[in-house]
Structure 1
């Protein structure tokens, strides 16, 4: 996927997440059932993880697949990936 397409996909996903968060806020204000709220929170968590994975994948591709990657650059990318995965 081209860099611009990746950025557009991420922005669309983040806007969707923002809408879900606003929906949860409304659910709390309306005193909806906890189970329903937790289902929405789980969906948001999954969406955030997906956005993170897209960013990690794009970052790794752009940094690690260059011809001249220094060990320091590679280590920095790997540390970022590990930090995200925790």
Structure 2
């Protein structure tokens, strides 16, 4: 993963932890036979939180590639790889 600031890292981790908590609530609701509308709404929130974390990671990788050029770092993702990652979340 490209170098990110401590604040960016913390924001991504917090978003993923929030999604983890939301997913635990979804599992509990499903196990308890919760209302399907509530479960789907909660599941949508989990999906959104995970997607936003993924987009943040990919956006940082794109910034890194544009700033340094992927040719300079053999481990840097190519534009095509970034595009594929981005589309996998869409």
For normalisation by structure 2, the TM-score amounts to 0.77
Matched residue, 1:50: 52
2:64 to 62, 65, 68: 62
CA distance in structure 2 between the partners assigned to 1:71 and 1:78 by the alignment: 14
Q: Which residue of 2 aligns with 1:12?
A: 14
Q: In structure 2, do the counterparts of structure 1 residues 71 and 62 end up closer, same or farther at CA, with 3 Å as the change threshold?
A: closer
Q: Which runs of 4+ in 1 moved over 3 A?
A: none
Length, aligned pairs only: 83
CA 43–24 in structure 1, closer or farther in 2 if over 3 Å, else same: same
- Gap regions ≥5 residues in structure 1: none
Which residue is 2:29 aligned to? 27
Q: Under a length normalisation based on structure 1, what TM-score does the superposition of the two structures give?
A: 0.81
| Alignment root-mean-square deviation, CA | 2.3
Which consecutive residues of structure 2, in runs of 5 or more, have no partner in the other structure? none
